[in-house]
Amino acid sequence: MRVIVVGAGVVGTMHAWHAVERGHEVLHIERETEARGASLRNFGLVWVSGRAGGEELETALRARVLWESVGDRVPALGFRPNGSLTVVRDETELAVAEAAAQRSDAAARGYKLLGPDETRLLNPALRGPLLGALWCERDAAVEPRTAQRALKTALLASGRYTYLGGREVREVRDGSSGPAVRDDHGDVHRGDTVVLCTGAWLGGLVRELAPELPVRRVRLQMMQSAPLGEELTTSVADADSFRYYPAYGGAALDTLAAARPQPPVAAEHRMQLLMVQRKDGGLTIGDTHEYEDPFDFDVVEDPYDHLTATVEGVLGRPLPRIHRRWAGVYAQCTDTSRVIHREQVRDGVWLVTGPGGRGMTCAPAIAETTADELGW
Cβ proximity of 278 and 224 under 8 Å: yes
Whether the predicted pLDDT of 266 surpasses 90: yes
What mean pLDDT do residues 242-257 have? 96
pLDDT at 250: 96
For the segment 51-89, what is each residue's pLDDT rounded down to a tens digit? 999 999 999 999 999 999 999 999 999 999 999 999 999
CA–CA distance, 180 with 222 (Å, rounded to integer): 38
Closest by Cα among 24, 27, 374 to 180:
27
What mean pLDDT do residues 117-140 have? 98
pLDDT at 313: 97
Cβ proximity of 153 and 94 under 8 Å: no
For the segment 22-43, what is each residue's pLDDT rounded down to a tens digit? 999 999 999 999 999 999 999 9
Taking CA atoms, 46 is separated from 204, 363, 365, in Å, by: 31, 10, 12
Closest by Cα among 363, 299, 300, 358 to 330:
358
For the segment 348-372, what is each residue's pLDDT rounded down to a tens digit? 999 999 999 999 999 999 999 999 9
- Pseudo-torsion of CA 119, 125, 126, 129, nearest 10°? 120
CA–CA distance, 236 with 78 (Å, rounded to integer): 18
pLDDT at 280: 95
Taking CA atoms, 214 is separated from 70, 207, 291, in Å, by: 31, 11, 14
CA–CA distance, 144 with 146 (Å, rounded to integer): 5
Residue 119, judged by CB atoms within 10 A of its CB (0-12, 13-18, 19+), counts as buried
Residue ranges of alpha helices (H) inside 123-202 are 144-156
Span of 127-141, 166-180, 317-331, 352-366 with lowest mean pLDDT: 166-180
Handedness of CA 35, 51, 96, 88 (dihedral sign): negative
CA–CA distance, 185 with 164 (Å, rounded to integer): 11
Closest by Cα among 160, 331, 310 to 236:
310
pLDDT at 174: 86
pLDDT at 101: 97
Average pLDDT, the chain: 96
CA–CA distance, 289 with 271 (Å, rounded to integer): 7
Domains of the chain are 1-82+138-214+336-376 (3.50.50.60), 84-137+215-333 (3.30.9.10)
pLDDT at 176: 79
pLDDT at 336: 86
User: What is the CB neighbour count within 10 angstroms for residue 53?
Assistant: 14
Residue 364 CA, chain-centre distance (Å), reads 11
359-373 and 10-21 helices, crossing angle to 10°: 40
CA–CA distance, 148 with 32 (Å, rounded to integer): 13
Whether the predicted pLDDT of 175 surpasses 80: no
Whether the predicted pLDDT of 220 surpasses 80: yes
For residue 182, the one-letter residue type is: R
Taking CA atoms, 54 is separated from 66, 83, 127, 337, in Å, by: 18, 21, 36, 10
Which one has a higher pLDDT value, 218 or 336?
218
Cβ proximity of 241 and 272 under 8 Å: yes
CA–CA distance, 75 with 160 (Å, rounded to integer): 21
Residue 322 pairs in a beta bridge with: 225
What mean pLDDT do residues 147-159 have? 96
